[in-house]
Structure 1
Amino acid sequence: MIDRKSPVPMYYQIEQYIEQLIESRNLKSGDQIPSEREFTDQFHVSRMTVRQAVMNLVHSGVLVRIKGKGTFVSNQNKIEKSLLGLNGFSEDMISRGMKPGSFMMSFARIRAAAKVADRLALDEHDDVFEIKRTRFADDEPMAIETSYIPAKMVPDLTEDQVSPSLYQYIERQCGLPFDHAVQSIEASVVTAEEAKILAIPKGSPILLIERCSYLKNGRPIELTKSLFRADRYKFMVKLPRG
C-alpha cells in the first residue's frame, strides 16, 4: 500500500504494488488491471500519478495498453533464445514446438548502401537482395526483420524461395553452408509504424539485433537487422568460469 511518509515517490510505490500483484499471481498474463479511476480512489492520489505509474510499466513491457479496451498484463512467458548457436527464426520456433510464420513486407534487388556493402565485403556497385519480413510465432507478431543477401552469391533468389526458411534454401539449394555469425544486441524503442506492425504500444522497448553471418570459407553471406519484442523474447547465454 501507499506510504505517504516514505521518500519513495507515490507513482513508484504504485508501480511496485502492481508488480507485486503480478508476482503473487493475483494478476495473470492477459488480465486487465484496474482503471486509473479505481487506483485513484483506492490510493487517494491524482490520476496523473496513477498514469505515470502505469505508463512506466507499459514502457518496461510489464503491461500493455490496447486502444479502446484498457491496460492488460503482458505475456510473462517469454521465448528464450540461446546466444550460442546459429539458427534461423523458423528453426528456432520449430524447435520450441511453435508454428513459425512470415509476412513479406518487401522483396527487392537493390544497390548496396555503403554500410551494407562494407559489412558484406562487396564492391561499391554490387547489388543485394533486401528482404523485409514480419516474423510470427503461433500467429503472434514477434519481430521485424530486414536481411541483405549478396546478389552475386545467390543470383536466382526469389520471393517464393525465401519462405519457409532462407537459411535452408542457401545451404541446401545453393550449397553454401553457414559457419558462424557476429551479433550485437542493443536496447531501443519502437516507432509508431513499428508498434503497429508488432501490435504493441508506441514507445515500447525492443531488442535491436544486428547479425552478420559467414560461410565456411569466411565470406559474409547475410546481414540482418531485427527488432524483437522485449515483452516476448529474451536471450540466454551460458558463461563458463575461466
Structure 2
Amino acid sequence: MPIDRNSTVPLYLQLKEHLRQQIEDGSYAPGSRLPSERELADTFQVSRMTARQAIRLLATDGFISAHVGKGTFVLKPRIDQELLLLTSFTEDIRQRGMTPRSRIIRAAIERADEDVAAHLKVSQGAEVLLLSRVRMADEEPIAWEICAVNHRLCPGILDRHNFGQDSLYQAMREEYGLRLLWADQLISARMPTREERDALDLDHKTPVLSLTRVTYTEHDQPAEYVSSVYRCDRYQLRTILRYTNG
C-alpha cells in the first residue's frame, strides 16, 4: 500500500506519485484507462477529493488526459529535449528510438523579406532556402517549423535533397562543411492559431511552445532563421541550472 497516513506528505501527493510511477514503469501503458476517482478512492481508502486532486496533478504534468464521459487515459511520454546542445529535430527523434519524418508544406528558393534579411544579416532580396515542414515522430505530428537558410552558404542544396526525409543540419554539415556551433533561441508559450491546430492535430485547449532561433556558424555568421511551434502535450524542454556564488 503506497499510502502512509503517518507521513507529512499529503495523501493526494502520495497517490499522485504512486500513479506516476505505475505509468512510468508501464503498469499503465499509453492509451490505457486510469481507474476512476471512485475506484481510486475505494482502492486506496481515501476521499474522492483526494483522488481528484491526484488526477488533476497528473493531468497538469502531462501524464494523463481526461475525456468527458469516457474516462481518463494515459498519454504517450513527452519528448524531452535538453537545452544544452545544438541538435536537429531528426537527431533528437532518432536518439529516442523513433522514426523522424517531415511533411513538406513548402520548399523553395525565395527572396529574403525584411525580417528574414535582418536575422540572417543578408541584403533584402537575397536568395534564401525556405522550408516549411510539419515534423513527425513515428508518424505523429510534433511540430511545425518554418526555416530560412542563407542559400549562398549551401547553393543547390534543394536539388540534392528531399527534406521530407533528410536532415537539413546533416546536409549542411557533411556536404557544405558548415559547422553550426551555437544558436540564440527565444521560447514562449501561447495558444495555437487555427492553422497550427489543424497542422498538428490539436484541440482548441492545448497550448504550444513557440520558438524562434538564429543558428550561427563557427565564424558567428547567421546560417539559419527558424520559427516553430511544438505541441506542449508531446514535447517539453529541459535545462540544468547550477548555482554559482557571486
Q: Which TM-score bucket, shorter chain as reference? A: 0.7 to 0.9
Partner of 2:31: 30
- 1:155-234 correspondence to structure 2 within 5 Å: 155-158=155-158, 160-162=161-163, 163-234=165-236
Partner of 1:107: 107
Q: CA deviation at 1:24?
A: 8.7
Partner of 1:51: none
* TM-score of the aligned structures, taking structure 1 as reference length: 0.73
- Do structure 1's residue 143 and structure 2's residue 179 form an aligned pair? no
Q: CA deviation at 1:232?
A: 0.9
**2:148 partner letter:** Y
CA contact 2:20–2:63 (8 Å) conserved in 1? no
Partner of 1:119: 119
Partner of 1:87: 87
Which ranges in structure 2 are unaligned for 5 or more consecutive residues?
1-15, 36-47, 49-57
CA contact 2:108–2:158 (8 Å) conserved in 1? no
RMSD between superposed Cα atoms in Å: 3.6
Q: Give me the identity figure in percent.
A: 31
Cα separation, 2, equivalents of 1:118 and 1:187? 24
How many correspondences in the alignment? 215
CA contact 1:58–1:64 (8 Å) conserved in 2? yes
CA contact 1:128–1:148 (8 Å) conserved in 2? yes
CA contact 1:60–1:204 (8 Å) conserved in 2? no
Cα separation, 2, equivalents of 1:59 and 1:115? 36
Worse overlay, 189-198 or 98-107: 189-198
Q: CA deviation at 1:30?
A: 2.4
Cα separation, 2, equivalents of 1:111 and 1:157? 16
**2:132 partner letter:** K
Cα separation, 1, equivalents of 2:72 and 2:202? 12
Cα separation, 2, equivalents of 1:83 and 1:190? 23
Sort the Cα spacing of 1:108 and 1:30 in 2 relative to 1 into closer, same or farther, 3 A.
same
Relative contact order higher in (CA < 8 Å, ≥ 6 apart): 1
Q: CA deviation at 1:191?
A: 1.9
Cα separation, 1, equivalents of 2:202 and 2:18? 22
